[in-house]
Amino acid sequence: MRGVPAPPTTDEQVAVTTEGPVATLWLNRPAKRNAVTHAMWQGIATACEGPLARPEVRVLVVRGVGDHFCAGADIGELSSIEPAAYLAATRAAEDGLAAVAKPTIAFVTGSCVGGGAELAIACDLRVADTTARFGITPARLGIVYPSFAVERAVRLLGPSATKHLLYSAELIDVDRALRIGLVDEVHEPSAAEARLDALTTLLATERSALTQQASKQLVDAVVRDGAIPPELTRRWAAEVAASADQSEGVAAFAERRPPRFTWEGPAAPPATARPTDPGR
């Protein structure tokens, strides 16, 4: 167990800290409830291609500094940035998070609205405390949510729940978010950090990275295509055959001891990692 991670000491509005095999991507604008600027969208994409891609990183947590995950995009700057450039930056950030080969967890407290919901949905898992509130709110502004973000929301939540959020722009509590599949776990604030620590420790130090990366690609293929392509099955069968993880896992089970998995790569190819928008 590593305990509660310390927030970044830098003034950078997107910062990455690491504690052993767990990396945390911090949205660092607490005075604005971590509302995302154009530069922050760009910073998220850059982080996903840089420090978060290192092989020693086993798990990524995305969270906000302070009491809130992310209150959405910074609406005040939208009129000053060319729409296509802004949309490209949001797309790159969302795709970058979704394509991280390792398990990704959004740790949600307080506001998770609009662009914040985009970032959370782009992660594999969402762990929230009971202060969290969720919303997809373009109907308040008379704009249309990006098509790629709608696609991911529908794949996660289904059409009816997505339409409810988009039509109403209402904020929902964690109980409703849990019912519709928007979050995977909910904990009291006093217990949420400990659960996050336990979960990331389990994923990063006690489970096979090979199994995790293969599972991520296989599940995403089903979500994207409805089936797993044979070449993907063959690729991961070859990885298992070449790795010592399977024999180590079986031996550890027989000897009733924790396994010592050693597989570290290769990282999953981005082309098979996540669905992409056909209109891109």
Instruction: State percent of the chain over pLDDT 90.
Output: 83
SS3 214: helix
pLDDT of residue 250 exceeding 70:
yes
Question: What is the distance between the alpha carbons of residues 236 and 215, in angstroms, rounded to a whole number?
Answer: 9
**Architecture per CATH, 14-204:** Alpha-Beta Complex (3.90)
Average pLDDT over residues 53-66: 92
pLDDT of residue 214 exceeding 50:
yes
pLDDT, position 117? 97
Residues of each domain in the chain carrying CATH 1.10.12: 208-273
Please write the tens of the pLDDT for every residue from 159-189.
Answer: 999 999 999 999 999 999 999 999 999 999 9
Ramachandran category for residue 4: left, alpha or beta (phi over 0 → left; psi -120 to 50 → alpha): beta
Is the torsion defined by CA of 47, 183, 32, 63 positive or negative? Answer: negative
Class of domain 208-273 as given by CATH: mainly alpha
The pTM score is 0.91
Token pair of 160 as six digits: 């009816």
Angle between helices 115-122 and 83-99 (to 10 degrees): 30
269 or 275: whose pLDDT is higher? 269
CB 138 within 8 A of CB 145: yes
224 or 266: whose pLDDT is higher? 224
Please write the tens of the pLDDT for every residue from 20-32.
Answer: 999 999 999 999 9
Please write the tens of the pLDDT for every residue from 60-112.
Answer: 999 999 999 999 998 888 778 898 999 999 999 999 999 999 999 999 999 99
Residues of each domain in the chain carrying CATH 3.90.226.10: 14-204
* Nearest Cα to Cα of residue 146 among 92, 185, 74: 92
Average pLDDT over residues 50-64: 89
pLDDT, position 266? 62
pLDDT, position 4? 73
pLDDT band (50, 70, 90) for residue 228: very high
> From residue 162, how far is each of 119, 149, 159, 177, 230 by CA, in Å?
15, 11, 5, 11, 32
The angle subtended at Cα 173 by Cα 165 and Cα 114, nearest 5°, is 45
